[in-house]
Amino acid sequence: MRSRAAADRCELADGYAPFILAVASGKGGTGKTLVATNLAVLWADAGLSVLLADCDVEAPNSHLFLPARTDKLTSVESKVARPDSQACNACGTCSDLCAFGAVRILGGTPVVFEEICHGCGVCVSSCPTGAMGECSLRVGEVSTGVAKRSQRLRLVTGRLDIGQVKAPSLIGATREEAERWDADILVLDAPPGVACSAVAAVRHADALLLVTEPTAFGLHDLELSLMLGSDMGLPIGVVVNRDGSGPTDIAEFATAQRVDVVGRIPFDRRIAEVYARGGLIVDELPEATSWLRTISSWIEDVAEGSAPSAADGLRERAGR
């Protein structure tokens, strides 16, 4: 099971590329960051070079559990259409061609709705009078630094500016920054849901880990996430967090969908206490290592099929 994305990256990187794991969920609060941060630490402690990218740019929180020494801070801008009303003849070409409805002719004057403008440039290239141009607007920033917890773990965090809505473009910049660094494995802490932000975070990953909970809401949103991952052709594994807290049988649903439940984290007050004070369960709960290794074993198996060089990193460099 070799993903096309992994094969392409291996070719560009002279035969070696990091394994990219996206950790996602259909809803917020299921435990994505819990799983992503603790897996990252587990692998770093095993001797791997790990890069954790927090792509939940509207509410990033991986840094709360893995404080980092920031050594790079980059402002991220997005292109937005900017009309010249004096040169415009109100022909409406820009409005007709805009797929997002971001340009309208109102009272004979072109108006751009910046919040929904994707900066695709169609209006600029198609304007017969050259009245449509572009400008750059800041949408957020990306910070990069080595985690204080381990020199083998680097954290890349995207932060969307207050009032901005263009999360996908910032997520793209966060991933671009993350992929500049050498690592054995890149973990993407994705935003919840299945909208544009989630798509931007998980696309071209080598595997998708979906974190859910045994509730009706968890099952409903897991189904949506499975549809998204299946449409992308990604290997998918399911982790049941707070196992035992609800009556919903996630395993039965997963079996019907031909997807494996690759890990379970029990419903345990101690986990909530560790998480609430910004701790890591892999450090404070002895049994947490076994929960995480079960998940890691599935990822290693996927790596064997999708990116042999990544499997070398996950198995051989950890001495397992």
pLDDT-derived band at 260 (thresholds 50, 70, 90) equals: very high
CA 225 – CA 208 distance, rounded (Å)? 10
Contact call for residues 165 and 139 (beta carbons, < 8 A) = no
Which positions ≥6 away from 26 have C-beta within 8 Å? 192, 193, 194, 210, 212, 218, 220, 221, 222, 223, 224, 225
pLDDT-derived band at 316 (thresholds 50, 70, 90) equals: low
pLDDT-derived band at 100 (thresholds 50, 70, 90) equals: very high
**pLDDT above 70: residue 213:** yes
Give the pLDDT score at 17: 81
**pLDDT above 90: residue 243:** yes
CA 281 – CA 285 distance, rounded (Å)? 5
Output the average pLDDT for the chain. Answer: 91
Region of poorest pLDDT, from 14-18, 35-39, 46-50, 68-72: 14-18
Contact call for residues 117 and 94 (beta carbons, < 8 A) = no
**pLDDT above 80: residue 203:** yes
pLDDT-derived band at 307 (thresholds 50, 70, 90) equals: very low
CA 21 – CA 206 distance, rounded (Å)? 6
Q: Report the number of secondary-structure helices (H) and strands (E) in the chain.
A: 13, 11
**pLDDT above 70: residue 6:** no
Which positions ≥6 away from 231 have C-beta within 8 Å? none
Contact call for residues 262 and 288 (beta carbons, < 8 A) = no
**pLDDT above 90: residue 314:** no
pTM, two decimals, is: 0.89
CA 51 – CA 71 distance, rounded (Å)? 15
Domains of the chain: 4-67+149-317 (3.40.50.300), 78-137 (3.30.70.20)
